Amino acid sequence: MNKMSDVLEHSLVQKFVHSLSAQTEHLDELIDGILNAPQQDFHQAISSFVADQDTPNFAQALDIQKENLQAIQDGLALQKEHLADTAKIVALCLALETNILTQLEVAESLKDFPM
């Protein structure tokens, strides 16, 4: 089973980790990395990740409609209309795989929200 951090280029993963801690925006690079990843490996990694999640809560938390999530799981992640939702999934996947969420400072006002 491929992990997302294995499928995407190492430099992209490093930039992603840095962008979360430095509060910068690298969405275009993330989209390019997604589009340039080996499709079969990428599809396997995203399908495995989604299968391991509590799908209704996971999709709702990322504001992804059920139909779009199903289309992504069916291999349509790289189609234009699904790229934004695919990027959300990839960002969460990378955040969990790199354990970066434990290193982020959360504002006191947000401490009561589930994360």
Fill in the amino acid letter for 26. H
Q: Which residue has the higher pLDDT, 6 or 22?
A: 6
C-alpha closest to that of 75 among 40, 109, 99, 108: 40
Q: Which residue has the higher pLDDT, 77 or 55?
A: 77
Q: Which residue has the higher pLDDT, 87 or 56?
A: 87
**Phi-psi bin for 25: left (phi > 0), alpha (psi -120 to 50), beta?**
beta
List, for residues 22-49, the tens digit of each pLDDT value.
555 667 788 888 889 998 999 999 889 9
CA distance 18 to 46: 22
pTM above 0.95, yes or no: no
> Average model confidence (pLDDT) for the chain?
81
Query: Which DSSP helix (H) or strand (E) runs through 101?
Result: none
Decide if 30 contacts 87 (C-beta within 8 A): yes
Q: What is the pLDDT of residue 115?
A: 58
**Alpha helix positions (H), the chain:** 4-7, 10-22, 27-36, 39-51, 55-61, 66-71, 83-97
Is the pLDDT at 21 greater than 60? The verdict is no
Decide if 4 contacts 46 (C-beta within 8 A): yes
Neighbouring C-beta atoms of residue 7, cutoff 10 Å? 22
